[in-house]
Structure 1
Amino acid sequence: MTAIPHQEQPPLTHAGRILTRRENGDPTAAGARSRYMALELGQRRLLAALARQNGEAPHDVLAAAVASPAGVVFSLMTRLCERGLAVQTPGGWKLQGWVTPLAREDMTRSVHVALSIPRDDLLRPPCDSVMERRIFEACLQLFEGSVVLPNVPLARVVDVAAAAPYLDQADRTFLQNPLTQLDIVVLRKGLLPVLAIEADGTQHDAGPQYARDARKNRILHVAGLPMVRLRVRDRMSDDLLTRHLGRALWEAARIARPSQRGHVELARALSRVMPGPAREDADD
């Protein structure tokens, strides 16, 4: 049988430079791990970043993923290609098949590698909805100087044992449910809760949600914690949202007299959102 002559693969160009692509054969299972672990940390970071991109990524994307200059990334990837761990593509880089599982394992097990590559999917912003998040951001400004917390379990605010004699069984069960939360809680010095804020959409007008809101109101009334309910719509502008929040706080301030908790915090918040006459009334 006539042997097929070996044809050298054409070089690939990248950023004005030429790099000959070399595809070494897959090492044995034992040799693969030792060969991978012998790499420098910076090279392992690049391979892990490529593994996060399903094994292939453009050059600029890879450089951004590891927050390194494009020239440094090119130099490191060139050496990795020469060692047979990756190949150059017309637009970027691609892992050799045997490297991908090792790089993914390295990313999950090595703190040094994992921390050097952002993992946005591991983090969640506060609040359960975009609207609640916007209200939370507004409260951080209005209640500056106080501690503002989002998504607080009701049982972390109301002492279950102390409130039990004043509640029926359904109320106590509702209070102790870890899923029963307050959207926002304002704390004064000493970390004592002084105000609760709830963002209510149209789903709060009827049905089970309406009944849960009434039960929550009753529990907070027993505990003596002022409650502000803010009616919201999905497409409210920031200015309109702030005005609605100010109006809701003003209504709560009319109930919270100077001797009651939350009055000082409400007055300070209103001074940041209401005009002069309303600010004077809020301080009365």
Structure 2
Amino acid sequence: MDGAQQQTRVLLAGASGTIGRAVMRALEESGHDVTAITRRDFAAKDGLAAACAAAKPATVISCIASRSGSPKDAEAVDFLGNLNLLKAAKAAGAQHFILLSAICVQKPRLAFQHAKIAFERALKASPIDHTIVRPTAFFKSLSGQVDRVAKGKPFMIFGDGNLTRCKPISDRDLARFIADCVTDPERRNTVLPIGGTGPAISLREQGELIFQIAGTEPRFKSISPRLFTGASRILSIGAPVSGWFAEKAEYARIAHYYATESMLLIDPETGEYSAEKTPEFGSDTLADHYRDMLKDRS
């Protein structure tokens, strides 16, 4: 189709975040008329309604997400924040709502996952066309130990380092995928799991890749995921009377989840994670990302 015919007015929520900024660039590169809204618009009374009414968007994209994953934050952002945005989008006459969700909601055990699922249900039930994008791990989420390795420290793994696998996707590739959803009619009223270029990689393989690029001998230190289970049980004792204990107990559950669950599509026929059935998109590789990070530290 002609590019000019595909240009449209887009309202983007969450443009200040890492993925949101990349989505903003991808939308602008595609020639769309983009209006970004901020957390202040969410906080102000009638802020969302006013922003949507002024922008008159055909499509609304939400990249907002709770920062901590705590039950209170998840309810306020992942569910209520998105729900209020959806109401404002409908009132402004938007025809399409694109949601950045997460692959982990297919096995919800955590507060933020339940909040995301609750909004997904509300979005599917609304009269607006929906596109729900569920990415696997981001490059950023797999980069926290690059500094450790660069400083000569061991790479931390859970168990033998092969408990989980993922197909991480770069900010740029994910942003292009989301931007493409604006004009692709085949992606409307769908749930789209998406990963980066394969193959799927384990935690140990991530460490081996960093050591290889750094040119140093691999060194690993193993932690048992059961430590998080024990911490969660202890902290949960105080949860009924203390918000602090409840929040910390949830953080321990989050840590255990990511230590033991793969970020891949679950095959509905087998109920198991499937690297083969997890869709891939883009051209950026985790190896190149690690090279860039280590180059910056040299």
TM-score by length of 1: 0.28
Larger Rg: 1
TM-score by length of 2: 0.27
Question: Relative CO higher for 1 or 2, CA cutoff 8 Å, sep ≥ 6?
Answer: 2
